[in-house]
């Protein structure tokens, strides 16, 4: 699996340089490429050079003859009337996956599911991490489209609606599937955890433990997944005849580290005796929640029950009995990739079916014991 970085990858730079030299006449049709000389010239590995030359072969600028070597040719000479764009469409067997933060605990499991489907289907997978920055997300999309990508799996961020390139993907008829979060105004397939039911079950577990003052801490409510979790929380309160209070919903603001925000809010509510249960709706928040709870326990301020959506690795010093809402991450990635490959096939056969919305059930796991 190839990892795209912020800068243009070395093999793309080499491919572009060689293409320009061929088109400008520095190399002539019939000239032979000496691989070891190019490796020395560009100071890269043979694998990196192979990636560059394989794209030039696909575009018809090079031809490879077993036992003889690699020679300069021309797109028309090698592939008849096929033009470069048509060759990309015919030969490219790569899909991309874009994630907003590669270090978030859900992503490795999701990517593994996608990767397994790609491997069994003879597709290459290209990974891009855009750090929840719409402009960076847009640049990745542009680069992948330029390289003739067959389709995309996108784990959208709360602010992905600011990225105008989604419309371009639709205009160019490039299939894509959303993971977990959908973007308002953009119609496409979606594979997600049942966020509503997960939050409902998590809140009910707090109620069963005797909680009546449950703080709901989240990142941005602009994300569809977070809004769904809030609705699940509200329904559980309603069914338990516990009044919903707006002041018990705390949303992190832009520019504030989520864990620091969660620590400050949790500490404030516990100090005032305003919360006996905490629902941490997004992974980055739970670390701040745990730090605040540990401080409160040290001051003998009483216990508090915690539910966390997602199950990150908790440092030993923050270990505390809590309930995790665990998403079926591998299955999410696997299902999304299966849907995308089916869309690619439908595009090739000029078939169009309604978009799908697949919701997978999460699991509640109790972790840790009081000592």
Percentage above 70 pLDDT, the chain:
89
pLDDT higher than 80, residue 58 = no
pLDDT of residue 75: 53
pLDDT of residue 90: 42
Mean pLDDT calculated for residue range 198-217: 96
Fold classification of 195-327 (topology level): Rossmann fold (3.40.50)
Q: Average model confidence (pLDDT) for the chain?
A: 87
Architecture of domain 92-193+329-361: 3-Layer(aba) Sandwich (3.40)
pLDDT of residue 369: 52
Q: Average the pLDDT over each of 65-74, 103-112, 242-251, 346-355 and give the range with the smallest value.
A: 65-74
- CATH 3.40.50.2300 residue window(s) in the chain: 92-193+329-361, 195-327
The pLDDT tens digits of the residues spanning 326-368 come to 999 999 999 999 999 999 999 989 999 999 999 999 999 998 6
Sheet containing 357-360: order of strands: 2-3, 124-129, 94-99, 151-154, 176-179, 189-193, 357-360
Query: How many helices, marked H, and strands, marked E, lie in the chain?
Result: 13, 16
Q: Find out if CATH 1.20.120.330 is the number for domain 7-89.
A: no
User: Which of the pair, 296 or 7, is modelled with greater confidence?
Assistant: 296
pLDDT of residue 8: 61
| Cα(362)–Cα(35) distance, integer angstroms | 51
DSSP of 336-351: HHHHHHHHHHHHHTT-
- CATH 1.10.10.10 residue window(s) in the chain: 7-89
Percentage above 90 pLDDT, the chain:
61
Mean pLDDT calculated for residue range 200-227: 95
């Amino acid at each position: 699996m190839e990892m795209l970085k912020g800068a243009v990858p070395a093999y793309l730079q080499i491919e572009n340089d060689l293409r320009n030299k061929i088109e400008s006449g520095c190399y002539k049709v019939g000239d032979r490429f000496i691989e070891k000389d190019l490796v020395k010239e560009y100071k890269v590995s043979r694998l990196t050079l192979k990636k560059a030359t394989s794209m030039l072969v696909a575009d018809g600028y090079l031809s490879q003859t077993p036992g003889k070597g690699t020679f300069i040719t021309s797109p028309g000479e090698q592939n008849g009337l096929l033009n470069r764009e048509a060759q990309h469409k015919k030969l490219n067997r790569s899909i991309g996956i874009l994630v907003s933060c590669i270090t978030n605990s859900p992503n490795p499991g999701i990517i593994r599911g996608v990767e397994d489907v790609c491997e069994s289907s003879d597709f290459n997978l290209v990974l891009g991490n855009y750090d929840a920055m719409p402009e960076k997300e847009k640049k990745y999309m542009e680069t992948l489209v330029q390289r003739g990508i067959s389709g995309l799996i996108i784990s959208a961020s709360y602010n992905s609606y600011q990225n105008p390139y989604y419309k371009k993907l639709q205009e160019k008829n490039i299939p894509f599937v959303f993971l977990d979060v959908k973007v308002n105004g953009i119609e496409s397939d979606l594979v997600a955890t049942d966020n509503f039911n997960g939050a409902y079950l998590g809140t009910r577990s707090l109620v069963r433990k005797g909680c009546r003052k449950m703080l709901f801490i989240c990142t941005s409510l602009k994300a569809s997944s977070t809004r769904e979790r809030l609705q699940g929380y509200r329904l559980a309160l309603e069914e338990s005849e516990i009044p919903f209070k707006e002041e018990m919903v705390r949303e992190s603001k832009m520019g504030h580290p989520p864990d620091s925000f969660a620590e400050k809010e949790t500490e404030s509510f516990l100090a005032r005796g305003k919360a006996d249960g905490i629902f941490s709706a997004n992974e980055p928040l739970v670390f701040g929640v745990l730090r605040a709870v540990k401080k409160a326990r040290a001051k003998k301020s009483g216990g508090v029950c915690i539910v966390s959506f997602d199950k990150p690795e908790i440092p030993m010093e923050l270990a505390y009995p809590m309930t995790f809402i665990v998403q079926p991450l591998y299955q999410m990635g696997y299902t999304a990739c299966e849907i995308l490959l089916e869309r690619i096939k439908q595009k090739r056969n000029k078939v169009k079916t309604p978009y799908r919305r697949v919701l997978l059930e999460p699991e509640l796991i109790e972790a840790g014991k009081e000592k």
